[in-house]
Amino acid sequence: MDSIIRFENVSKSFGTNNDVHALNNVNLDIERGSIFGIIGMSGAGKSTLIRTLNFLERPSSGTVFIDGDDLSKLSREGLRKKRQEIAMIFQQFNLLMQKNVIQNICLPMLAYKTQRAEALKKALEMLEVVGLSDKKDAYPSELSGGQRQRVAIARAIAYRPKILLCDEATSALDPSTTETILDTLKEINVKYGITIVLITHSMSVVERICDKVAILDKGRIAESGNVKEIFENPKSVEGKRLILNGVNIIPIMDTPNCVRITFTETSSFEPVIANMALTYRTPVNILYANTATIGKISYGEMILQLPLDNGVSDQMIQYLRSRGHNVDRINIREALGNA
């Protein structure tokens, strides 16, 4: 794998006694050109991880490699150059309110000594990429949240970084604006080959654009891999908790013989479930159903409560599997981390 980012045994502790372990022995490889999601609950260590990635935060131990270079071995000038290859966007946009859109985009380029005419040319090109050419003279106060984030994206990529870090970049936006911003990030990834690392607490953000994901929990990587595989079959307690997030019918799911089934066809579950109930002359409870789109493929998931009779429920699991569905027994207490 051609890794553009590599974490080797990275730990970071805070506090007077170094007793807050924000990162705990993190190993991570991020492939060049990919969109990589880092997901976890608040306090999991996501911000610390992203800040060690450009050495805004130095690890307490371990090594961070960017494009093959060990950041701790770079000179001050080398690190400054390296940071130019790593742009960042934030939840709160960080635009200068007294400057208009074009000035906001040009500012970092001018600071890095790009000629004014060249900076202006790039800024206009980037505005086109983010679909805001008609707002070049507007001030941030005249823009919506989504438009402000587009300006921040244009500013971040104007310098053609190799890596774009997105720190909860869509968390302040409504769901439909979030989707359009994520689609723009995907276009940028494809058009310029910029590797995107995105930290978020939202599984739907990961589902929409990420190729790979790492689930961070209490400073450790709970699991990582392809989004599709983890979504279909989360193995860690933290993964199960994030993927089942939003399920508010937990008490009735706290029963034996609950299964989670996933499907990738466009067909609905319902004939299969109905036919199964008819075949075994026993009803099943549908506790939860949801669909999501990962890449261009639609996925469905459903949580069923099967009959308490283990013989019947085992046969039902076989029945569902024989029809091509992915079926896992789930333990709701374990999935929610309070086993």
**Per-residue contact flags (x/-) with ligand ADP for residues 96 to 135, judged by CB under 6 A:** ----------------------------------------
Query: Which lies closer to ligand ADP via its Cβ, residue 143 or residue 215?
Result: 215
Contact partners, residue 177, CB within 8 Å, separation at least 6: 144, 145, 146, 170
256 binds ligand ADP (CB under 6 A): no
* Interacting positions 29-48 with ligand ADP (CB under 6 A): 40, 42-48
Contact 215, 242 (CB under 8 A): yes
Q: List C-alpha distances in Å: 188 to 34, 231, 299.
A: 11, 25, 25
92 binds ligand ADP (CB under 6 A): no
Single out the residue of 20, 289, 312, 336 in contact with ligand ADP (rule: CB under 6 A).
20
Stretch that binds ligand ADP, among 15-23, 171-179, 241-249, 321-329 (CB under 6 A): 15-23
State the alpha helices, DSSP H only, in 42-174: 46-52, 76-84, 101-111, 116-129, 145-158
**Per-residue contact flags (x/-) with ligand ADP for residues 48 to 87, judged by CB under 6 A:** x---------------------------------------
Q: Please tell me the distance from the alpha carbon of residue 135 to that of residue 62, in angstroms, as a whole number.
A: 45
* Interacting positions 235-254 with ligand ADP (CB under 6 A): none
Give me the least distance between CB of 202 and ligand ADP, in Å please: 13
Give me the least distance between CB of 216 and ligand ADP, in Å please: 7
88 binds ligand ADP (CB under 6 A): no
User: What does DSSP assign to residue 325?
Assistant: -
* Interacting positions 271-290 with ligand ADP (CB under 6 A): none
Query: Which lies closer to ligand ADP via its Cβ, residue 20 or residue 172?
Result: 20
Give the number of residues in contact with ligand ADP, rule: CB under 6 A: 12
Q: Please tell me the distance from the alpha carbon of residue 91 to that of residue 86, in angstroms, as a whole number.
A: 17
User: What does DSSP assign to residue 296?
Assistant: T
Single out the residue of 4, 5, 10, 22 in contact with ligand ADP (rule: CB under 6 A).
22
Contact 243, 234 (CB under 8 A): yes
Give me the least distance between CB of 215 and ligand ADP, in Å please: 11
Contact partners, residue 147, CB within 8 Å, separation at least 6: 132, 135
Task: Please report, to the nearest 10 degrees, the dihedral formed by the alpha carbons of residues 38, 42, 48, 51 taken in order.
Answer: 60
- Assign residue 74 a region (left: φ > 0; alpha: ψ between -120 and 50; beta: otherwise): beta
Binding stretches for ligand ADP (CB under 6 A): 14-15, 20, 22, 40, 42-48
